[in-house]
Amino acid sequence: MYCTEISTKFSAAHFLESEFMHGHNFKVNARLYGNLNKKGMVIDLDKAKNALDEICNEFDHKVMLSELSADSKNKAGEIRIKEKTYKIADEDVVFLPIQSTTAEYVVEYIANRLKEKFKAQNLNLNIFVEMEENYDSSACFFD
């Protein structure tokens, strides 16, 4: 089995339970494992990189919120988290279909979106994604 690796970066803010709003300069590394195709590659690296960039660009310079969280609601630009209310323009917020915006849930979401992008090509890939919040901490997801 072979592996190719791609990476990208994005900056975003998020909330965690009992924490204040804060942000990170995230670095995302994805490893795609599979057999070589007729062209002698696991996957076209440019297409893989573009797919990862497209996914992460959705969050870049946004506030990431869980659309499943009862605490975070966006009404006329207001987001309520615990006892605080933040006024943030709608175009600066991205609601993700995840339980919480922890690094673990976000990296799983990215991995699943990446896998979905290549599903139509009938590629039998295993995907490992790591997302660094800063230079000394990261979360990983693999299938």
> Rounded mean pLDDT of 13-33?
89
Residue 69 falls within a domain, yes or no? no
User: 60-100, pLDDT tens digit by residue?
Assistant: 999 998 887 655 555 556 777 777 788 888 899 898 999 98
- Check: CB of residue 142 under 8 Å from CB of residue 126: yes
Please give the model's pTM, rounded to 2 decimal places: 0.91
Choice between 33 and 70, residue whose per-residue pLDDT is larger:
33
Expressed as residue numbers, the domain containing 41 is: 2-60+102-142
Residue 112 falls within a domain, yes or no? yes
- Tell me, what's the pLDDT at 2? 95
Measured in whole angstroms, how far is the alpha carbon of residue 86 from the centre of its chain? 23
**Regarding beta strands 22-34 and 2-14, do their DSSP bridges make them parallel or antiparallel, or are they unpaired?**
antiparallel
CATH code for the domain of 116: 3.30.479.10
